[in-house]
Chain A
Amino acid sequence: MPLSSKDLHYLKDELSWELLAMKKCHHFAQEAQDPQVRQLIDRVGRIHQQHYEILLSQLQSEVQTAGIQPQPPAGGTMTQ
């Protein structure tokens, strides 16, 4: 089953947010004063990293099954 454009759009969105969230959690966990706060934020951050891996594997398996040719990396992939 191929991904729809919408699926791809949401996956990109989710991946970006999961990345931001894990970085933020990691940063805050190191700064936190209270051990309980530190541990919880750290645990949440790890969950975000797991989610990122799962989402990425969704994309990667799609690439393999569809046999999509990888695009040569261009200078700017962001289309305005």
Chain B
Amino acid sequence: MQPPYGQQTPTRGTQQNQPQQSTGLPQVKGPELNDRDRLNDILSTEKYLTTAYNIAVNEASTQQLYQVQMQMLTELHQCQRDLFNLMSQKGWYKTDPAPAQQVTQTAQQFANYRTQFPYA
């Protein structure tokens, strides 16, 4: 159905106007970056930045600076979510479901720990 991705040399500095069909499949696996790599790399960058903002926010000396950085932190978290969602949609971020038995077991285990609660 879909034409396979050929060896496409990325055009640098110009807008590509050839509409590409989204196959959701990884492109030809070669040494060059593909779209999955690009999304992954941007996501890594966002993760680093949110870490940096997170620390800065904790130590901001003025309320104003705190709020400005907090706002950016929130926006970057949203960016990360959007990146994650697109990768999931493309099938590039597979998650495997936890075994049901282990979920049940864990829920039971931590429900039992309620005996340790200090508050009535």
Tell me the A residues contacting B by CB distance below 8 Å: 1, 3-4, 6-7, 10-11, 13-14, 17-18, 20-21, 24-25, 28, 30-37, 40-41, 43-44, 47, 51, 54-55, 58
Contacts and interface: CB of A to CB of B under 8 A. Distances in A.
Contact of B11 (A30, A37, A55): A30
Given A1-B62, A40-B83, A25 B42 contact: yes
B35 A10 contact: no
Contacts, number: 106
Interface of B: 5, 8, 10-16, 19-20, 22, 27, 33-35, 38-39, 41-42, 45-46, 48-49, 52-53, 55-56, 59-62, 64-65, 68-69, 72, 75-76, 79, 82-83, 86, 90
B61 A1 contact: yes
**Secondary structure of the B contact surface, majority rule:** helix
B43 to A, nearest CB: 10
A28 B37 CA distance: 10
A9 B83 CA distance: 29
